[in-house]
């Protein structure tokens, strides 16, 4: 039902966008650049608007697949066009959002659910307890993970997004002193992340990586006041980097990542922790909030007793 509702909204939004394209030169230039709207409409209206409407009306798999496939193709093509010409950047953003929504809606139409369990059943992010090793080994592995993942998610991807933002003409300068504010946020968040990682690897017999999860429930360091300090640190690190780069797109990337983590990854992780640690984890979950820190940390013995 939700998949069909999404396709209905997408059909209405697509139709409204095409009206705006032909009615407003500003909308046309921002979303299509120099592309001929008539030629684009010949293909897009039946394959995007009509197919989305058909998927909403009858819940058919074929129109849902057509609409989703076409949306992905248009997103890729428009991104290439914007990169080469520096035009139609806002169109790429709109189509990227539509492609993501279409994929989720297609899963709902075809499967009746979003197969998030795939994340924890296979691949490098599958949930597995870490192999038994010394504390020094786990700390060293955690250090390596920090270098790799922070380098990717806090340097490579944000720099690429900032470059794309500039190339596609999406740059919106942020107020003065945002660089200094971003640096302060990044340093504080990174300190929290390092503290959390140290507690996880030294006390938990594992690492923060899902493929090498702790073998013991960690109620130490920042985990005494909030359940997910590393996630909080990661969100604020991303925001800090975005402020330093004066990039609103990087800030959106950080916020979007937090939403994916909260609604997709966190329920799976908590189910895994409850299955492995049972009643102690349930007591911990009841005593410590996910996002909002306690004023006073709970003693570890209150959980394990």
CATH number for the domain spanning 152: value is: 1.20.120.1630
CA distance 133 to 195: 21
The pair of structure tokens assigned to 66 is 């057509």
CB atoms within 10 A of CB 148: 11
Query: Which has more confidence, 209 or 221?
Result: 221
pLDDT tens digit string along 140-194?
Answer: 888 888 999 999 999 999 999 999 999 998 988 888 889 999 999 999 999 999 9
Does residue 225 share a domain with residue 300? yes
CA distance 177 to 182: 9
What range does the domain containing 230 cover? 120-304
Does residue 230 share a domain with residue 110? no
pLDDT tens digit string along 224-270?
Answer: 999 999 999 999 999 999 999 999 999 999 999 999 888 888 888 88
Does residue 178 share a domain with residue 86? no
Does residue 80 share a domain with residue 151? no
Does residue 68 share a domain with residue 209? no
Give pTM, 2 decimals.
0.88
Contact 127, 210 (CB under 8 A): yes
pLDDT tens digit string along 69-109?
Answer: 999 999 999 999 999 999 999 999 999 999 999 999 999 99
Query: Which has more confidence, 79 or 203?
Result: 79
**pLDDT at residue 116 tops 80:** no
Instruction: Using DSSP, state whether 213 is helix, strand or coil.
Output: strand
Does residue 126 share a domain with residue 100? no
Does residue 156 share a domain with residue 98? no
Residue 78 CA: distances (Å) to CA of 24, 44, 73, 99: 20, 12, 8, 12
């Amino acid at each position: 039902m939700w998949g069909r509702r999404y396709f209905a909204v997408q059909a209405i939004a697509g139709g409204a966008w095409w009206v705006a394209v032909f009615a407003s030169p500003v909308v046309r230039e921002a979303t299509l650049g120099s592309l001929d709207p008539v030629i684009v409409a010949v293909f897009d209206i039946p394959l995007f608007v009509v197919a989305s409407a058909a998927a909403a009306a009858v819940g058919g798999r074929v129109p849902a697949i057509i609409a989703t496939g076409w949306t992905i193709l248009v997103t890729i093509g428009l991104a290439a066009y914007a990169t080469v010409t520096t035009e139609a950047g806002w169109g790429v953003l709109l189509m990227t959002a539509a492609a993501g929504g279409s994929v989720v809606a297609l899963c709902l139409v075809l499967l009746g659910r979003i197969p998030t369990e795939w994340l924890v059943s296979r691949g490098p992010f599958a949930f597995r307890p870490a192999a038994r090793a010394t504390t020094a080994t786990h700390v060293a592995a955690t250090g390596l993970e920090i270098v790799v993942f922070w380098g990717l998610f806090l340097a490579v991807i944000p720099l690429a997004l900032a470059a794309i933002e500039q190339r596609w003409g999406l740059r919106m300068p942020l107020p003065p002193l945002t660089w200094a504010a971003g640096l302060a946020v990044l340093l504080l968040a990174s300190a929290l992340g390092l503290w959390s990682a140290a507690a996880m690897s030294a006390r938990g017999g594992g690492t923060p990586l899902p493929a090498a999860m702790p073998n013991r429930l960690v109620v130490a360091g920042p985990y005494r006041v909030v359940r997910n300090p590393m996630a909080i640190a990661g969100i604020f690190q991303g925001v800090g980097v975005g402020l330093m780069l004066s990039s609103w797109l990087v800030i959106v990337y950080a916020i979007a990542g937090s939403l994916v983590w909260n609604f997709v990854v966190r329920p799976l992780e908590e189910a895994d922790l409850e299955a492995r640690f049972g009643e102690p984890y349930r007591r911990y979950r009841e005593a410590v909030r996910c996002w909002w820190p306690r004023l006073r940390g709970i003693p570890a013995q209150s959980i394990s007793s």
